[in-house]
Structure 1
Amino acid sequence: MKVPFNRVASVFAVPVLAGLLGCFAAMAQAGEVKEIRIAVPDLSAGAEHSGGGVVDVLRSQQLLEKAFAADGIKVQWNFFKGAGPVINEAFANGQVDFAYLGDLAAIIGKSNGLDTRLLSATGRGVKEYLGVVPGSGIKTLQDLKGKRVAVFRGTANQLSFDAALASQGLSEKDLKVINLDFNSAVAALAAKQIDATWGLSGLTSLQQRGLAELPLNTLDLNGAGSVQSVLVGAGGFVDAHPDVVAHLLKAQEQAVQWLTQERNKEAYVQLVAGLSSYPPAILHEDLKGLDVSVLFASQLDAPFLAKLQGSVDLAAQQRLIRKPFKVTDWVADKAL
């Protein structure tokens, strides 16, 4: 599924598209549901698709497909290399009904006028890493002043980095920030075209090949910059089909129950490794120091909503969004 996208124009186009297309999307959603369209940022480095976490478990165990088979409802998974910004555009165009997103992309969509509903947590305290060129001497975030640093703008990656910088009294203005997606940033770092990047566990693969050093991650910053991820739904669809939403959340909970059991950690690592083309050692390292029963908990509890509100407030402070909002107003009634 291809969606045309211009990163710069997208931020301003989303509210306009949402307004123009909202009535048509609502009309389409009011009828009988034949298909559920789900969007996911593609985190894979290979030919297969991977969204990590609950997404990979849902797909591998066909939980949603089985849950809706009796109703004749098909499940369509759409993976986007362009991650959150492209998915927000797809929402605006009425092309998806649900999306698994990192916090900033979901927040930007909501702030820019997309009618979405917050349905569940899907990840909390996800680690991000600082990757630097070997021998650069960069050991701390303070050492990044004036350096060329790649960050994937408009995604949770950017908000994570800004939160990490803020914890050390810094901001993007202190650096030379370059907008690159995850794979491009990894390639640029390996080629020494940049000084550093801020990203996910895939950076560990560069470290293992001697192409990068990872001097710190968000655990070293007492959690500053850790990422929260969520499931959101198109407002018109959620309001028109609460029974479908409830059925989806019930099926998702089966995956969550499997994920949050320590005895399944190794099976989960092997699953994601197979789909993402990352070595299992990288995923083991990424889960080190994290409690899976907390990491993958789906409840929209007070601590999670407070953390998400903090993300909204920081995004507004850093001018990543124009209009802050109350997270509690975003939560779908059924989700609560």
Structure 2
Amino acid sequence: MIKFIKVVFTAAVLVPFISITDGHAAETKAANEPKVVRIATVAYNVNGKTRYLGSTELVTETGLDAELAKRGVKVEWVPAAHAMVGPIVNEAFANKTIDFAAYGDLPPIILNGSKPRVQLVAPWGRSGNSYLVVPANSTAKTIADLKGKRIALHRGRPWEIAFANLVQKNGFKLTDFKIVNVNPQVGSAALASGSVDAFYSLSDAYNLVDKGVGKIIWSTKTAPPDWKLMGGLWARNDFVQQYPELTQAIVTSFIKANHWAAQDANKETYLKNYASLVQPESVVRRDYEDDVVSWRDRWSPLYDQALVDHYKRATSYARESGLIRKDIDINQLLNSAFVDKALKELNLETFWAPSRIAAKQ
């Protein structure tokens, strides 16, 4: 009988790996595993076909479905619209209708704000830049020039952390600006119409530049690596505790996908076939160009100092800004055990170098 397993990104609780060497014990263990694993991820409708964000689609090509099929488990992908990823995934985790989820950093922190629910079991790397855009005719050159001005920013989304870093580094507070809380689509339109003085978002900033209605005055390309948008595969704590071997199989497939994408020989294929699903290829390429982080390290799944510092800052910011009411134990949020074992099994322990936090200031 085919079994299905639910897969969803959740907060991390450190658990020991269970090694089963007895064949009968392994069969018994598999028999007790769920029949379906549900994994939530950002999805798009491209020419009538559902496509998933970035490297998530690669996982099916690196053996996840086949590996779980051996255990009698089936993967069910749960699509989440880009405009409302955080709320959709958080609600699904809270209701236990998903087991894993691939999404950014701030939403799962908010989810864990009341109690530990999910953990990061496989980081996707430092793959996301964010941009501060002003109207094409604006005289603003820095964040300081926007004090007291209207800035479109979708609160609670991963890129809010980078914006907060920029604001704090320059000696300001969010209250020094008139934050207009709208999603990226509305924010982009607001900038184009002159309804706001600036817009903070992702690579869609280049679309505004191409249309001649906006110009980029700052981005995380020259910021420290820990300012990048970070996230990855999050798993429900109770799922990880109950099914550590199944969690390991899923994480290992994600690490295989990271490894494939990180190789220079596969860069062009990734850019053309996976990264350019929604944005024009020219936009995608510019988002990856002239970055302080190398192509290989953009896919690093390591729980290195850059990642730890990023989540320390993110959890502190969430608490200070009122997004959560309690402090979060970083040790419950980040679980490196599964990645460590996957890297060892795949002989990739030295493929990625730990990130040193250094960049142009």
Residue 66 of structure 1 is matched in structure 2 by: 66
Aligned to 1:8: none
- In structure 2, runs of 5+ residues without a counterpart are 1-30, 341-361
Considering only CA atoms, is the larger Rg found in Structure 1 or Structure 2?
2
Unaligned runs of 5+ in 1: 1-29
Whole-angstrom distance in 1 between the partners of 2:79 and 2:199 = 23
**Cα offsets for 1:148-191 (capped at 9, x unmatched):** 21111111122221112111111210111111122222222223
Closer/same/farther in 2, CA of residues 273 and 250 from structure 1, 3 Å limit: closer
**Larger mean Cα displacement after TM superposition, 282-291 or 41-50:** 41-50
Work out whether 1:300 is the aligned partner of 2:303: yes
- The answer for the alignment partner of 2:119 in structure 1 is 117
Conserved 8 A contact 1:45-1:183: no
Paired AA for residue 205 in structure 1: N
Deviation at 1:307, TM superposition (A): 2.5
Matched, 1:41 2:28: no
Alignment partners' CA distance in 1, 2:100 and 2:32: 17
Please report the TM-score for the alignment, with normalisation by the length of structure 2: 0.77
Counterpart code for 2:331 = T
| Distance verdict in 2 for CA 1:110–1:47, change over 3 Å | farther
Say if 2:131 is the partner of 1:129: yes
Partner of 2:245: 243
> Taking structure 1 as reference, are residues 133 and 43 closer, same or farther at Cα in structure 2, changes over 3 Å only?
farther
User: Which residue does the alignment assign to 1:287?
Assistant: 288
Aligned twin of 1:180 = 182
CA pair 219-90 structure 1, distance change in 2 beyond 3 A: same
| Structure 1 residues 81-92: aligned runs within 5 Å | 81=81, 82-92=84-94
Distance in 2 between residues matched to 1:188 and 1:32, nearest whole Å: 49
CA distance in 2, matches of 1:47, 1:138: 41
Q: CA 1:302–1:268 in structure 2 vs 1: closer, same or farther (change >3 Å)?
A: same
**In proportion to residue count, which structure has more helix?**
1
Aligned with residue 105 of structure 1, among 107, 123, 126:
107
CA distance in 1, matches of 2:46, 2:214: 17
2:267 equivalent to 1:270: no
Report 1:169-248 matches (<5 A). Answer: 169-222=171-224, 225-248=227-250
Does the 8 A contact of 1:133 with 1:213 survive in 2? Answer: yes
Structure 1 stretches of 4+ moved >6 Å = 43-47
Q: Deviations over 1:200-249 (max 9, x none)?
A: 11211121121211111013445574222132101111111111101001
The count of residues paired between Structure 1 and Structure 2 equals: 305
Q: 1:323 to 1:48 in 2, by over 3 A?
A: farther
SS of corresponding position for 2:296: helix
Q: Which amino acid aligns with 2:138?
A: S
8 Å contact 2:62–2:256 — kept in the other structure?
A: no
Instruction: Tell me if the contact between 2:102 and 2:233 (Cα under 8 Å) persists in the aligned partners.
Output: yes
Q: Is the 8 A contact 2:113 2:327 kept in 1?
A: yes
Amino acid at match of 1:148: R
Inter-CA distance 48–250: structure 2 relative to 1 (3 Å threshold): same
Percent of residue pairs bearing the same amino acid type: 28
| Alpha-carbon spacing, 1:252–1:185, altered in 2? closer, same or farther (3 Å) | same
